[in-house]
C-alpha cells in the first residue's frame, strides 16, 4: 500500500432538497441527493453572520496518520464480510448523499482493507480488495475524538489538538453509541431543515436506540444546531454551535476517523 497526498477539504458538498423524513437518528430534517459546487462552502460562510478565522495546520507534525481509499470515478467495489469472504454489497464512487466515497482503512490484512461503512452495523468492518485500478490511496493526519461523559469534541492533527469545544450528546434513553467511525459526507444544514444548524458531517455509524415512534433515519452525525449546546439532549448525534461546526466542517476531509468514547 502506498501513500499519496492527503485529500483536500470537503469542497463538493451534498446540497439536499425537500423530502418526507429526517435523514439522521438525532433530530428532524429532510433530504434527497445531489452534489453542490466547489463554492458551496463560501456560500455557506456568507449566509451566516460569523467571522471564521482558520489557521492552517503545521506542515510537519509528529503523531498518527490514517490511510484512506477513494473509489475512483467509473468504478465499483465489493464489500466483503471477511477478507475474500462473501460479498455483502457493491458500492460506487458516490455515497447516497452524492459525496465522493472515501473510506478510512482501519485494518490491513493480506491485500485486504477493513473499512467502516454505513452499510454494516456499528462495530463491524467491511473488507475491500487492495485494487489500484478502483482505489486511490492517500492519508490524512486529521482525526476527531468525542468524550460523551465530558460532552466535548476535539479536532486533532497528528499529535496536536487544533480545536476543542462543547457538544450536546445523546440522552439517557438514546445515548450516543460509542465506537470508531468515519466521516462519509459534508452536508449544508439549511437544505435539511432547521434542526441541523449550518452544516452536517455524516458518519458511518447508526443509532440503534431511537425513541418510540421515530420514523426518520438512523445515521449518526456531527452537526450544528439553532439551539443551545451542552447536555445529554440529542437522540444520539453530537451537536455543536454553528461557529464551532463551521470551523470543523471547513477542515476535516472525507474519511476522517471519529473516535467516540465515554
Q: What is the pLDDT along the chain (262 residues), one digit of tens a residue?
A: 433 333 333 433 333 332 334 567 675 433 333 334 334 444 544 444 444 455 666 667 889 999 999 999 999 999 999 999 999 999 999 999 999 999 999 999 999 999 999 999 999 999 999 999 999 999 999 999 999 999 999 999 999 999 999 999 999 998 999 999 999 999 887 667 677 889 999 999 999 887 776 666 789 999 999 889 999 998 899 999 999 999 999 999 999 999 999 9
Do 163 and 135 share a domain, yes or no?
Answer: no
Do 44 and 166 share a domain, yes or no?
Answer: yes
What CATH number does residue 153 fall under?
A: 2.40.440.10
Residue 160 in domain: yes
Do 229 and 187 share a domain, yes or no?
Answer: yes
Distances (CA, A) of 257 to 65, 203, 230: 10, 9, 23
For 26-56, b where at least 16 C-beta lie within 10 A, e where not — what string? bbebbbbeebbeeebbeebeeebeeeeeeee
Do 207 and 121 share a domain, yes or no?
Answer: no
Domains of the chain: total: 2
Residue 130 in domain: yes
Do 133 and 152 share a domain, yes or no?
Answer: no
C-alpha 180 chain-centroid distance: 11
C-alpha 179 chain-centroid distance: 13
pLDDT of residue 216: 64
Domain span at residue 86?
Answer: 66-140
Boundary-marking domain end, from 140, 173, 205: 140
Tell me if the pTM is above 0.85.
Answer: no
Do 159 and 243 share a domain, yes or no?
Answer: yes
Nearest to 90 by CA among 80, 98, 100, 82: 80
Boundary-marking domain end, from 85, 108, 140: 140
Whether the Cβ atoms of residue 153 and residue 97 lie closer than 8 Å to each other? no
Boundary-marking domain end, from 140, 165, 196: 140
Backbone φ and ψ of 191, nearest 5°: -80, -10
pLDDT of residue 31: 33
Amino acid at each position: 500500500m502506498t501513500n499519496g497526498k492527503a485529500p483536500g477539504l470537503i469542497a463538493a458538498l451534498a446540497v439536499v432538497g425537500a423530502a418526507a423524513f429526517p435523514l439522521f437518528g438525532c433530530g428532524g430534517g429532510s433530504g434527497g441527493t445531489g452534489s453542490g459546487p466547489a463554492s458551496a462552502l463560501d456560500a455557506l460562510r456568507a449566509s451566516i453572520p460569523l467571522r471564521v478565522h482558520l489557521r492552517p495546520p503545521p506542515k510537519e507534525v509528529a503523531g498518527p496518520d490514517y490511510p484512506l481509499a477513494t473509489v475512483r470515478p467509473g468504478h465499483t467495489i465489493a464489500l466483503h464480510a471477511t477478507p475474500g469472504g462473501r460479498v455483502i454489497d457493491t458500492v460506487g464512487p458516490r455515497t447516497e448523499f452524492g459525496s465522493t466515497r472515501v473510506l478510512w482503512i482501519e485494518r490491513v490484512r493480506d491485500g485486504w482493507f477493513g473499512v467502516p461503512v454505513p452499510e454494516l452495523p456499528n462495530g463491524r468492518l467491511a473488507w475491500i480488495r487492495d485494487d489500484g485500478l478502483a482505489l486511490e490511496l492517500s492519508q490524512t493526519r486529521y482525526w476527531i475524538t468525542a468524550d460523551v461523559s465530558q460532552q466535548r469534541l476535539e479536532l486533532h492533527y497528528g499529535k496536536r489538538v487544533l480545536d476543542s469545544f462543547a457538544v450536546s450528546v445523546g440522552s439517557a434513553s438514546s445515548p450516543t453509541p460509542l465506537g470508531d467511525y468515519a466521516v462519509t459526507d459534508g452536508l449544508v444544514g439549511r437544505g435539511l431543515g432547521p434542526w441541523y444548524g449550518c452544516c452536517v458531517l455524516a458518519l458511518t455509524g447508526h443509532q440503534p436506540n431511537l425513541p418510540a415512534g421515530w420514523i426518520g433515519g438512523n445515521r449518526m452525525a456531527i452537526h450544528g444546531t439553532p439551539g443551545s449546546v451542552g447536555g445529554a439532549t440529542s437522540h444520539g448525534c453530537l451537536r455543536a454551535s454553528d461557529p464551532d461546526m463551521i470551523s470543523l466542517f471547513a477542515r476535516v476531509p472525507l474519511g476522517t476517523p471519529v473516535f467516540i468514547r465515554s
